[in-house]
Amino acid sequence: MSDTTRTEISTLGEFGLIDHLTRNQEIKNASTVLGVGDDGAVIDHFGRQTVISTDMLVEGIHFDLSYTPLKHLGYKSVVINLSDIYAMNATPTQIVISIAFSNRFSLEALDEFYEGVYAACDKYGVDLVGGDTSTSQKGFVISITAIGETAPDNYVKRSGAKVNDLICVSGELGGAFLGLTLLEREKKIFQETGAQPDLEGQAYIVGRLLKPEARKDIVEYFAEAGIVPTSMIDISDGLSSELMHICKQSNTGCMVYEDKLPFNDEMKEFAYKLKIDPTACALSGGEEYELLFTVSQADYEKIKANPGISIIGYMTEPAEGKKLITRAGNKHELVAQGWNHLST
């Protein structure tokens, strides 16, 4: 947050601020009938079903501005909400964003944040159609609601997995956890010694934390290949936690194979350097925003045809429990640690 040029937000007033922050928006979707400027937005999805999801991000709980650029924060705030819409096998079309900020934030700081917001809107083809602004006594609070659409009854729930369904995951796992570990370590060193952060060679894991991407491409592949997952969830709290959500709501067990978990080579190298097990990073780390889903075995060939998807196991009878098979062939109970956003 550079204060080289600082404009106090109070000089604009609430409505002036809203006009300023939304001055460059362009409508991208035919379903957006009316956007910012009235008491409410008007959306018409033309007979398709509407999917809605909301997330709140609180400074000091979900993000740390000592190492999170405001533009990255704006981008990520949008992406993690769009990820929820994709996890329903739907297409995001609009967002509503509300923010509360203390007087330490200048107009230039909010411009930087909204630069990231609009970059995400442009990349994923969604419209910003409303929101609210307020002051806060301390820190920065962000609430975003994402709205999407899907063909009637084409949405995917967490509760549809069946015994013997294949467990699949997009992308690579564990990088965001290591990115957080690295940034927290460098922050502590800076606070204690004043030494500048050493992030050389760690662009991958830092990027996985600060600028994740929603898996629009995977949902598009489902449509192209004629795949409808039996269940799906995005990975915000770690693979184990999310898989347990699916097992609980589908009334199944699961069998996951450690040697099938997808890792990036840079991530593994840094994990070993820190003496951290990459598997633990994947199972208990969070903020990946990859898609975890199950499909019928009849879709095996279609799934194998996409190199961005890994088959990591299968669903079992509930009595068989939730198990991890290690590389050595040992069987362990899966433990859901997840990210506790309520701890301080």
For residue range 39-80, list pLDDT tens digits in order.
677 888 888 999 999 999 999 999 999 999 999 999 999 999
User: In this model, does residue 331 exceed pLDDT 50?
Assistant: yes
Record the tokens describing residue 67, joined without a space.
């190492």
> Mean pLDDT over all residues of the chain?
90
Measured distance CA(303)–CA(312) in Å, rounded: 12
CATH superfamily of domain region 9-150: PurM-like, N-terminal domain (3.30.1330.10)
User: In this model, does residue 81 exceed pLDDT 90?
Assistant: yes
Query: Across residues 306-321, what is the average pLDDT?
Result: 98
Identify which of 252, 246, 229, 251 has the alpha carbon closest to the alpha carbon of residue 303. Answer: 229
Name the segment(s) of the chain with CATH classification 3.90.650.10. Answer: 166-333
pTM of the full predicted structure?
0.90
Q: How much of the chain is helix, strand and coil, in % rounded to 5?
A: 35, 25, 40
pLDDT at 97: 95
Cβ 284 vs Cβ 240: under 8 Å: yes
Instruction: Annotate 203-250 with three-state secondary structure.
Output: HHHHHHHHCCCCCHHHHHHHHHHCCCCCEEEECCCCHHHHHHHHHHHH
CATH of the domain spanning 166-333, picked from 3.90.650.10, 3.90.1580.10, 3.90.1150.10, 3.40.50.620:
3.90.650.10
Record the tokens describing residue 15, joined without a space.
């409505």
pLDDT at 23: 66
Q: Looking at 14-18, 57-61, 318-322, which range is the least confident one? A: 14-18
Q: Which helix (H) or strand (E) holds 78?
A: helix 70-86
Instruction: Write the pLDDT tens digit of every residue in 167-195.
Output: 999 999 999 999 999 999 999 998 888 88
Parallel/antiparallel/unpaired status of strands 309-316 and 331-333: unpaired
Name the segment(s) of the chain with CATH classification 3.30.1330.10. Answer: 9-150
User: In this model, does residue 219 exceed pLDDT 90?
Assistant: yes
Instruction: Write the pLDDT tens digit of every residue in 83-136.
Output: 999 999 999 999 999 999 998 999 999 999 999 999 999 999 999 998 888 889
| 173-to-144, 292, 294, 310, 330 alpha-carbon distances in Å | 25, 11, 17, 11, 22
pLDDT at 6: 78
User: In this model, does residue 283 exceed pLDDT 60?
Assistant: yes
Instruction: Write the pLDDT tens digit of every residue in 193-212.
Output: 888 887 888 999 999 999 99
User: In this model, does residue 285 exceed pLDDT 90?
Assistant: no
Q: How confident is the model at residue 14 (pLDDT cuts 50, 70, 90)?
A: low
Identify which of 50, 12, 41 has the alpha carbon closest to the alpha carbon of residue 130. Answer: 41
| 127-to-115, 147, 264, 275 alpha-carbon distances in Å | 14, 10, 33, 44
Among residues of the chain, what percentage have pLDDT more than 90? Answer: 74
